[in-house]
Amino acid sequence: MKRRQERTRRKIFRKQDIPLYIMAFPTVIWLICFCYLPMGGLVLAFKDYKVQKGIFGSDFVGFKNFEFLFTTTDAFIITRNTILYNVVFIALNLFLAVGLALMLSELHSRLLAKSLQTVFMMPSFLSWAVVTIIVTAFLDRNNGFVNQVIRMLGGKGMTDWYLVIEPWPFLLVFINAWKNVGFQAVVYLAVISGISSDYYEAAVLDGASRLQQARYITLPHLRFIIVINMIMAMGGIFRGDFGLFYNVTGNSGALYRVTDVLDTYIYRGLMNLGNIGMSSAAGFYQSVVGFVAILAANKVVSKIDPDSAMF
């Protein structure tokens, strides 16, 4: 009712709004050029791309590109890797970040807490290019720190870690946590330190233990930001972190079985193999399923907890 009244009162075009159109103009144009036009470009997945004909001029080939993609085992492997890694990243990082934040918030020394916080944030300010170099300092075959330690302990220490599959799932999980957990923890800490002390005082008067305080006061206050982060992360569950999976692993073919994700696959198809058809089919698959994932995540959240849903 109220909204309808509002709408009738509001005139569609008013002279004093002209500046608003001008202000919105650059971003609208930008969104069309760099977001909506590429969205239209997704039709490429159903076409046989020819450079001379361009995206919109190339011939339709139906689902041929998808047939190619899904008849190989590639589609299964990259989907499994992408989802599995993301699930582990989300769960583990959340657990570690909340843990660190809770511990930081309880420290007696504020100075210590402040300095630790600064250290924890450091990796999130490094790019994957830098992290790649740091990782080689550890894993390099000839000089790397890991092989040096193995040699010191009497082993041969000549393993080329970029060719051995087994440790990589753990390495990737660790490296990702190393880079991202600290920042998350500090964000949660900021939320925790914003909680009014009244709650805790009341809890103490009622004889609540520290653990109970964390469980019934601190965590519920973190709920909102955690849920938002989860929705965003669920929406990105079909997106693999390219820097991690491509650069840090040295794009080593021997490791593809455990390191290849949708993004690296699409990139290789586009840049190295020139297989635009397959690449665009995988891209279409990623965009659409990712979109469904984010809608689903939001739907689930709005069922459980309507206040926390995004839209």
Q: Locate all alpha helices (DSSP H) within the chain, ordered by sequence.
A: 2-9, 18-31, 37-40, 54-57, 64-71, 74-106, 110-121, 128-139, 145-152, 168-193, 197-205, 210-213, 219-235, 242, 256-259, 262-267, 276-304
| Shortest distance, position 201 Cβ to another protein, whole Å | 6
Neighbours of 26 (CB within 10 A): 9
Query: What is the x/- site pattern for another protein, positions 177-206, by CB under 8 A?
Result: -x---xx--xx--xx-xxxxx--xx--x--
- Residues 201-260 contacting another protein, CB under 8 A: 201, 204, 210, 213, 224-225, 228-229, 235, 242-243, 247
Contact flag: residue 270 with another protein (CB under 8 A): yes
How far apart CA 294 and CA 300 sit, in angstroms, is 10
| Shortest distance, position 146 Cβ to another protein, whole Å | 9
Contact flag: residue 48 with another protein (CB under 8 A): no
Q: Give the range of 68-76, 83-91, 103-111, 252-260 binding another protein by CB under 8 A.
A: 103-111
Distance of CA 228 to CAs 63, 225, 231, 234, 302, Å?
36, 5, 5, 10, 11
Contact flag: residue 164 with another protein (CB under 8 A): no
Contact flag: residue 95 with another protein (CB under 8 A): no
Q: Taking the chain, what is the end-to-end CA distance rounded to the nearest angstrom? A: 21
Name which of 165 and 292 has its Cβ closer to another protein.
Answer: 292
Contact flag: residue 36 with another protein (CB under 8 A): yes
Region for 258 from its dihedrals, namely left if φ exceeds 0, alpha if ψ lies in -120 to 50, beta otherwise: alpha
| Shortest distance, position 99 Cβ to another protein, whole Å | 9
- Residues 1-30 contacting another protein, CB under 8 A: 10-13, 16-17, 19-20, 23-24, 26-28, 30
Residue 304 contacts residue 226 (beta carbons within 8 Å) = no
The H-or-E segment that residue 59 falls in is strand 59-60
| Shortest distance, position 113 Cβ to another protein, whole Å | 8
Question: Residues 108, 154, 166, 274: which binds another protein (CB under 8 A)?
Answer: 108
How do beta strands 59-60 and 47-48 pair?
antiparallel
| Shortest distance, position 133 Cβ to another protein, whole Å | 5
| Shortest distance, position 84 Cβ to another protein, whole Å | 21
- Residues 53-92 contacting another protein, CB under 8 A: 54-55
Question: Residues 78, 104, 172, 233: which binds another protein (CB under 8 A)?
Answer: 104
Name which of 63 and 125 has its Cβ closer to another protein.
Answer: 125
Contact flag: residue 163 with another protein (CB under 8 A): no
Number of residues that bind another protein (CB under 8 A): 112
Q: Give the range of 38-46, 70-78, 82-90, 253-261 binding another protein by CB under 8 A.
A: 38-46
Name which of 83 and 96 has its Cβ closer to another protein.
Answer: 96
How far apart CA 26 and CA 20 sit, in angstroms, is 11
At how many degrees (to 10) do helices 276-304 and 74-106 cross?
40
Four-CA torsion 103, 109, 114, 117, nearest 10 degrees: -20
